[in-house]
Amino acid sequence: MVQATPLLLVLSLALGAHSLSPRKCNLTGTWKNDLGSNMTILPVDEKGNLAGLYNTSVADNSSKIHQSPLLGFQKLTNPIHQPTFGFTVNWTFSDSITVFTGQCFVDKHGKEVLKTTWLLRLHVNNIEDDWKATRIGTNVFTRLK
């Protein structure tokens, strides 16, 4: 009984330390957002570069939507369990560009969730219309695969 005490102490410290560090949130995979859009992020490289494909469910002209490439970065600096990231989607079917920035979280149920804010830049024909060319919004993504 006396010998078991140090072992129990080590065990409880190890378990306690484990529960303090959150489960790792991994950007790689297929995600769906609150608008029904899907994106696939390919494995992030050792420098944090990321690439993938975006299928939006909505657009200014929704009759001609096509899958579009995305390129960005994930921060690899510590702590990387819930990393920040940013990427740009180069829409292949319009003159617009969208930039997303966000953070990959593990929620209280242990589910990964991407909380993002985006800026969508539309093309306008003249500088007088610049004021109406940028939209802002948020999207929440959850993992499909």
Distance CA 30, CA 32 (A): 7
- 98 lies in the binding site for ligand BTN (CB under 6 A): yes
Interface residues for ligand BTN in 46-75 (CB under 6 A)?
56, 58-60
Kindly state the smallest distance separating residue 10's Cβ from ligand BTN, in Å.
48
Kindly state the smallest distance separating residue 37's Cβ from ligand BTN, in Å.
3
Kindly state the smallest distance separating residue 129's Cβ from ligand BTN, in Å.
15
- 34 lies in the binding site for ligand BTN (CB under 6 A): no
For residue 36, the SS3 value is: coil
Q: Residue 13 — left, alpha, or beta (φ > 0 → left; ψ -120 to 50 → alpha)?
A: alpha
What HEC string does 7-34 produce?
Answer: HHHHHHHHHHHHHHCCCCCCCCEEEEEC
Please report, as ranges, the residues that interact with ligand BTN according to CB under 6 A: 33, 35, 37, 56, 58-60, 91, 94, 96, 98, 118, 120, 137, 139
